[in-house]
A and B are shown apart, each in its own frame.
Chain A
Amino acid sequence: RKEVEQDPGPFNVPEGATVAFNCTYSNSASQSFFWYRQDCRKEPKLLMSVYSSGNEDGRFTAQLNRASQYISLLIRDSKLSDSATYLCVAGGGGYNKLIFGAGTRLAVHP
């Protein structure tokens, strides 16, 4: 079983749609969680950290459920520029290394 699992997608949505991504992690000792965005052939860029209380950054809302070991990302009012692969990341363990999911691909169309 992978340490961080995500639905690979792709999610094809029209502009303006709301889309949600889910992710599960297996290491109950993980203490930090993030969503990264990766464009094709580029490095990952931090989208947002995920806190237990849930957090919002503009059109993006992240939720964490420690009991279920589940993380989510909600994107409202999708833009064409949101098209990318979204990586769910769990941190923890020695040196706070990050474990990446394989990513969920989002394609927003006009």
Chain B
Amino acid sequence: GAVVSQHPSRVICKSGTSVKIECRSLDFQATTMFWYRQFPKQSLMLMATSNEGSKATYEQGVEKDKFLINHASLTLSTLTVTSAHPEDSSFYICSARGQITDTQYFGPGTRLTVL
């Protein structure tokens, strides 16, 4: 099956620093990648959708200047949380969709803790 990796799996950082999370599709080309955030005991919330080579589309209420998304190739998308604050602490999950199917395959997630 399709494999999506995420790195790092866990990060702890100080308030005010920036954190970059990578999402890679390992065995297929992902035309579209999605970034989600999940707070404890809550649903996954879509933050943004990115298509290779174009600007990401952000969901309402998600600050594009704070959550920078780059989708430079068909196998890699990055999410940078700029000037992180404790309220940004969450589980960030990416997913990737191939060219043919609607199915999204999820990465293992990155648990971010901002002190």
Could you tell me which A residues sit within 8 Å of B by CB distance?
32, 34, 41-46, 49, 87, 91, 94-103
SS class, residues of chain B in contact with chain A = strand
Could you tell me the distance in whole angstroms from the C-beta of A88 to the nearest C-beta in chain B?
10
Q: CB-defined interface of B85-115 with A at 8 Å, one 1/0 digit per residue?
A: 0000001010101000011111111010000
Residues of B within 8 A of A (CB): 32, 34, 36, 42-46, 49, 51, 57, 91, 93, 95, 97, 102-109, 111
Is the pair B46, A97 in contact by a Cβ cutoff of 8 Å?
yes
Is A94 within 8 A of B42, CB to CB? no
CA distance A87 to B104 in the complex (A): 14
Residues of A within 8 A of B91 (CB): 41
Cα of A98 to Cα of B34 in the assembled complex, Å:
9
**Residues B104 and A94 in contact, CB atoms below 8 Å apart:** no
8 closest A-B pairs (Cβ-Cβ)? Answer: A102-B43, A43-B106, A100-B44, A95-B49, A43-B109, A32-B102, A100-B43, A43-B108
* Pair A87/B102 contact, Cβ less than 8 Å: no
Give 12 A-B contacts (CB < 8 Å), ordered by A residue: A32-B102, A41-B111, A43-B93, A43-B108, A44-B106, A46-B104, A87-B43, A95-B32, A96-B97, A100-B45, A102-B43, A103-B43
Residues of B within 8 A of A41 (CB): 91, 111
- List residues of chain B with CB within 8 A of the CB of A103: 43
Query: In the complex the two chains form, what is the Cα distance from A48 to B104 in whole Å?
Result: 12
B43 CB contacts on chain A under 8 angstroms = 87, 100-103
Chain B residues with CB below 8 A from A97, complex form: 34, 46, 49
